Amino acid sequence: MSAKAHSLRLFLSEIARAPRRMGTVWPSSPALAEAMARWLPTSATAPVVELGPGTGIVTEKLLEAGWPEERLIAVEKSERMAGYLQHRFPRARIHQGDALQLARLLGDQKVAGVFSSLPLKVFTPQEAEQLTRQIESVLLPGHNWIQYSYQIVNGHAPSSSFHAVDSEIVWQNLPPAKVSVYRRGNQQSQGS
Ligand SMILES: C[S@@+](CC[C@H](N)C(=O)[O-])C[C@H]1O[C@@H](n2cnc3c(N)ncnc32)[C@H](O)[C@@H]1O
């Protein structure tokens, strides 16, 4: 079986096992992953973190765009997909765990970007709020949280610590998706 077919089979079997956690019916398209990767920081020494990488389509586009694998951290809840990703991207730091525990997983590490494919539509309001606070505590001031969703109308900045700086609808995806970019303000976080 080709690497692509193996990756798709793993993705689809995770949807069958945990449809709510996956929150989708198909992996993101290359067009969607590229739209996210356009927001890589241009001059940063800190790593970036990817949340919910699945089998790695966004990861792949981040690296193709020139981001060094050693400076990529990913947090994936599925044990099987985390193992697959670590094999596929051996120099990246893959954490198998819950993005709602992001600050604990990262220790003291701060990041220069958050690339999230997490299915926020299945998060409770409390979980969404917890995620926002976790991201706020690890993201360096002035840097971006890039989030896609299938809700292509409306949407608003997740908290007063972030402001929306851009959004783009990617029609070449099943279903069409919106990439939203939120920038963390320059005030230091008061903690998570
Ligand atoms: C919509 S899929 C996106 C997969 C891939 N990035 C893509 O774009 O095709 C959502 C991913 O988030 C993961 N996930 C869901 N909840 C999570 C959580 N709380 N912490 C970490 N990963 C989570 C799922 O296991 C799944 O891999």
- CATH number where 89 lies: 3.40.50.150
Instruction: Please indicate, yes or no, if residue 167 is contained in any of the structural domains.
Output: yes
Instruction: Please indicate, yes or no, if residue 139 is contained in any of the structural domains.
Output: yes
Which domain range does residue 139 map to?
3-184
**Structural contact between residues 114 and 146, judged by C-beta atoms closer than 8 angstroms:** yes
Task: Give me the mean pLDDT over the 129-133 stretch.
Answer: 95
State residue 112's pLDDT score.
Answer: 98
- Radius of gyration for the chain, computed over Cα atoms and rounded to the nearest angstrom: 15
Task: Give me the mean pLDDT over the 22-34 stretch.
Answer: 96
192 — pLDDT class (breaks 50, 70, 90): very low
Residue 106 Cα to ligand 1 middle (Å): 18
Res. 13: pLDDT tops 50? yes
Instruction: Please indicate, yes or no, if residue 170 is contained in any of the structural domains.
Output: yes
pTM of the model: 0.95
Instruction: Please indicate, yes or no, if residue 191 is contained in any of the structural domains.
Output: no
Res. 22: pLDDT tops 80? yes
State residue 160's pLDDT score.
Answer: 83
Beta strand pairing call for 162-170 and 111-116 = unpaired
C-alpha span between 166 and 95 (Å, rounded): 29
The count of domains in the chain is 1
Res. 155: pLDDT tops 70? no
State residue 189's pLDDT score.
Answer: 43
Instruction: Please indicate, yes or no, if residue 58 is contained in any of the structural domains.
Output: yes
Instruction: Please indicate, yes or no, if residue 124 is contained in any of the structural domains.
Output: yes
Residue 20 Cα to ligand 1 middle (Å): 10
Instruction: Please indicate, yes or no, if residue 120 is contained in any of the structural domains.
Output: yes
More confident residue, 109 or 160: 109
Bridge partners of 183? Answer: 144, 163
Instruction: Please indicate, yes or no, if residue 192 is contained in any of the structural domains.
Output: no
Closest residue to atom 15 of ligand 1, CA basis = 21
| Tokens of residue 175, six digits | 């279903």
Q: Could you identify the residue written with the tokens 């908290």?
A: 159
